Chains A and B, each alone.
Chain A
Amino acid sequence: MERIVLPQIENLNQIDVYLANQGFEAAKKAFTLSSDDIIDQVKKSGLRGRGGAAFLTGLKWSFMPKSNDKPKYLCINGDESEPGSFKDRQIFEFNPFQLIEGAIITCYAIGAKVAYLYIRGEYHKWIKLMQNAVDVSYERGFLGEKMKETFGTNFSCELFIHKGAGAYICGEESSLMNSIEGKRGYPRVKPPFPAQFGLWGNPTTINNVETITNIPPIIRNGWEWFSKIGAPKHPGTILFGVSGHVNRPGVYELPSGTLLIEIIDKYAGGVIGGKKIKCVIPGGSSMPPLRGDQLEGVRMDAESLKEAGSAIGTGGIMVMDEDTNLLDVLIRISHFYHHESCGQCTPCREGTGWMEKTLKRIKAGLGTSKDLDLLCDVASHIEGNTICALGDAAAWPVKFMITRFRDEFEKYVNNNVQIPVPNKVHSMRNTAIPLANLEKN
């Protein structure tokens, strides 16, 4: 199987090795084409974003205005803070020049002179590796003014790395742009979309690191070649990060549409101790979890997972064996979204907290099955009622974990608990079981 994003070539992170393996040839080719041709090729290739929403990349690019009255920007999202997702760092470490080449081609296609690569702050090591690669590219004339000479064109672009500082929300595109502008990472109301009103109010395209890294091979080998790899509606390879109860956790680049079971059993070495699978989250913690008995025939592409009742997300597969306590897992997930909610929208700011507290009440042995309904109710009031998708991301795991594993959650609740007042969120402050006391348990 051919690998597109992480080819098995030793020392590919050295520029000379990269050059010896067709490095920067796609960029050379791109400069002989018009920007419309490139956008057209990417559109026809069927490439879809690898950051979670699986939106058509070429279509996104075509939203950029053609006029040049304002500066245009490219943002590359390497925030990678979705729990279960650890793929972009492999690109920073093992194939940084392909990412840079992809950025150059994208800048040319959308008419951007500056690209910002946003990398999460915790990735100190990978930021250094990436900065090295950027510096070398400048030195060798693949970025900046010197690239005009290298490529024999009148186009040039700059690439800057912006280091995040530990906020999950900055992976959301409009929040990421606010963060680059030096503000709190608050998501913006859309529309206007980034293509109209992005960085500093200028037209901006924002793509995931993996998406951009796919661009050079598409330009080099043509859209037809790419469109034939993997699932027809979601072509190409995807970096699947497998974690949890498997023998060989790690990142595996496989064609889209690979069977989920095959990834777990064949590539990740199966479940530790040969245990059964209780639950799999197929695309990072925001995506709806699947039951172990739901996995048969599920393929890892956007369409197939949608049919199965989940989503591809970032391709971070979290595997939980039969002995996993799903209440503990859900408490941890809810804590995460409570902690990371930026606080702008009331349903998310308050709802994530209530979900965490209610789950902790169940953990303390003080929950009834009404609490399970309450949790689903709170989740349904967050979903769709917030500026950004963090609300949905917080609501889905709760809603789907409880509905899909209701039998298990019923075991954790105790229907003998007497709650003196009706079990509604606003009245929880007045219950005989003060929530504050639960923290100690």
Chain B
Amino acid sequence: MKFTFTEENLKKIEAIRKKYPTSLAAVMPVIYIAQEQNGYISEEVMEEIANVLSIDKVNVLSVVTFYTMYHTKPMGKYHVQVCTNVSCILRGAYEIFDSVKKKLGIDHMQVTEDGKFSLEEVECMGACGGAPMIAINEDYFENLTKEKVEEILDSLK
């Protein structure tokens, strides 16, 4: 499916371009914009990013596949990220991760059938003082218990 940036996003890209001396440097923020518009980064999206920035598609591909926050497949409406790094496991992150898996019926990097939730086991999110923690899309939820996580997931429409 052909992908084109919206007018508004093209303006944003124009502004981003001005922050850097090369157009290649704008690729990371532009991938974010594309991901926000399209939900994930498909081949067509990469092509359009390359077009807009006048760079090779391979430059886009190499960046998309290196960084974990760019997704090449559709994720759920709510992308649930559970940190299971050291500070979090010391405070019960594996129990949280297991209960989320059980509740949603999916595993690491899977999406529920209705497309509502996706799950990812993530590395340290920089919230060690509030361990255990999860992030849903862009929001952090800290100092959790299994019950609290359940409540949070139930509250999502």
Q: Which of A151-176 contact B (CB under 8 A)?
A: 158, 160, 162-168
Residues of chain A contacted by B125 (CB below 8 angstroms): 122
Interface residues of B (CB under 8 A from A): 19-22, 24-29, 31-32, 59, 62-63, 66-70, 81, 84-87, 89-91, 122-131, 135, 138-140
Interface residue tally for chain A (C-beta within 8 Å): 55
- Pairwise interchain contact A336-B27, C-beta atoms closer than 8 A: no
- Pairwise interchain contact A167-B128, C-beta atoms closer than 8 A: no
Residues of chain B contacted by A332 (CB below 8 angstroms): 84-86, 89
Q: Is A303 an interface position by the 8 A CB rule?
A: no
Residues of chain B contacted by A180 (CB below 8 angstroms): 20, 25
- Pairwise interchain contact A320-B90, C-beta atoms closer than 8 A: yes
Q: Which A residue's beta carbon lies closest to that of B81?
A: A122
Closest CB in chain A relative to B59 CB, distance in Å: 7
Q: Which of A282-311 contact B (CB under 8 A)?
A: 285
- Pairwise interchain contact B123-A318, C-beta atoms closer than 8 A: no
Q: Is A182 an interface position by the 8 A CB rule?
A: yes
- Pairwise interchain contact B69-A122, C-beta atoms closer than 8 A: yes
Point out the residue from B24, B67, B86, B130 that lies within 8 Å of A84, measured CB to CB. Answer: B86
One of A20-28, A227-235, A241-249, A402-410 contacting the partner: A241-249
Closest CB in chain B relative to A381 CB, distance in Å: 24
Q: Is A333 an interface position by the 8 A CB rule?
A: yes
Using A163-B32, A166-B68, A332-B84 as known contacts, say yes or no to A241 and B129 having CB atoms under 8 A apart: yes
Closest CB in chain A relative to B22 CB, distance in Å: 7
Q: Mark A86-99, 1 if CB is under 8 A from B, else 0.
A: 10110000000000
One of A75-83, A255-263, A354-362, A423-431 contacting the partner: A75-83
* A-B pairs with lowest CB-CB distance, top 9: A165-B67, A243-B128, A124-B138, A166-B68, A166-B69, A243-B87, A83-B124, A182-B24, A182-B27
Q: Which B residue's beta carbon lies closest to that of A248?
A: B129
- Pairwise interchain contact B68-A167, C-beta atoms closer than 8 A: yes
- Pairwise interchain contact B62-A184, C-beta atoms closer than 8 A: yes
Closest CB in chain A relative to B69 CB, distance in Å: 4
- Pairwise interchain contact A336-B123, C-beta atoms closer than 8 A: yes
Closest CB in chain A relative to B40 CB, distance in Å: 14
**10 A-B pairs in the complex with CB atoms less than 8 angstroms apart:** A81-B126, A83-B87, A83-B123, A160-B19, A180-B25, A184-B63, A243-B129, A328-B89, A332-B86, A342-B66
Most buried by A among B63, B68, B69, B124: B124
Q: A180-B20, A244-B128 are in contact. List 18 more A-B contacts (CB 8 A).
A: A82-B124, A83-B87, A84-B124, A86-B127, A86-B128, A122-B126, A124-B138, A124-B139, A163-B28, A183-B24, A183-B62, A184-B62, A185-B67, A243-B87, A244-B86, A250-B129, A316-B128, A329-B90
